[in-house]
A and B are shown apart, each in its own frame.
Chain A
């Protein structure tokens, strides 16, 4: 029987000098986790429990929320923290179940790419969003849009 390495044995020794990225990753998972708990529970409460919950979500609902910088920053913070936390957690899992090599590089590359693209996309969407796009039927828009 091939011997399995003891849990927590390192693939390569931790760096002695300079930045220990694995340590900072470990700290990030915990710090972001605490903040995410607040952000995500608040998100779920406002979107799913208040009023008619999921039934009330439509373009007008989103437009109403993002008219307020408070919710824009709330959602952008959640976006960055959750994607980096999730992608880094997935990297841990890839490290656990694959050996160093091409497949591992491809998987980690895909995680990095997905997180980067979605962070850029999401941030642009939140800050360039137009709640009153010209030519859209008024009944689909937030109530504060000027009638045309």
Chain B
């Protein structure tokens, strides 16, 4: 795929009329950061609904709360928590990227670079989080 497929296929004599090139999805960093932001946003939202309900069990009884929170401490859920934190950390860092791109001309021009910075910060944060969390989950 050429860098910029729109307009390079056949040099038009007069300015080409705007027409959809079969799809609105243009690929590359801009699209993927948007796709990931959307998917992680939805995932976090549904987790939040559940998480408020399970925490509300403290108002029922200590036994009820402990029984449900205990399921968060199993190995399978421990892996799920790594995925969840990964989603939140991406959404948070990329959210800052969106804000910068919206408000600051330099960031608008360098949105691709900023996407790779988001990925790098995500890797660093997850290297800080995942080993320690998994040690907590898989020990004792």
Contact = CB atoms under 8 A, between A and B. Distances in A.
Interface in A48-63: 48-49, 52-55, 57-60, 62-63
Interface string B77-104: 0100100010010001001101100100
A90 B49 CA distance: 13
Contacts of A63: 58
A89 B72 CA distance: 27
A59 B64 CA distance: 9
Nearest to B69: A57
Interface string A25-46: 0000010011011001100100
A55 B73 contact: yes
A141 B63 CA distance: 10
- Give the secondary structure class of A's interface: helix
Contacts of B52: 79, 83, 118, 121-122
- Please classify how large the interface on chain A is, using the bins under 10, 10 to 19, 20 to 34, 35 or more: 35 or more
A93 B34 CA distance: 12
A128 interface: yes
A7 B24 contact: yes
A41 B92 contact: yes
A125 B69 CA distance: 16
Interface of B: 18-20, 24, 38, 41-42, 44-45, 48-49, 52-53, 55-56, 58-59, 61-63, 65-66, 69, 72-73, 78, 81, 85, 88, 92, 95-96, 98-99, 102, 129, 132-133, 136-137, 140
B102 A55 contact: no
A53 B137 CA distance: 8
- Give the secondary structure class of B's interface: helix
Contact of A54 (B55, B61, B99, B137): B137
B81 A48 contact: yes
Given A3-B20, A54-B78, A93-B38, A136 B45 contact: no
Nearest to A36: B92
A128 B59 contact: yes
B64 to A, nearest CB: 9
A82 B58 CA distance: 20
Contact of B45 (A49, A53, A89): A89
Given A62-B65, A86-B41, 16 more contacts: A40-B88, A41-B92, A44-B88, A49-B129, A49-B133, A53-B132, A54-B137, A57-B73, A58-B66, A86-B44, A121-B53, A124-B59, A133-B61, A136-B62, A136-B63, A141-B62
Contacts of B81: 48, 54
Contacts of A21: none
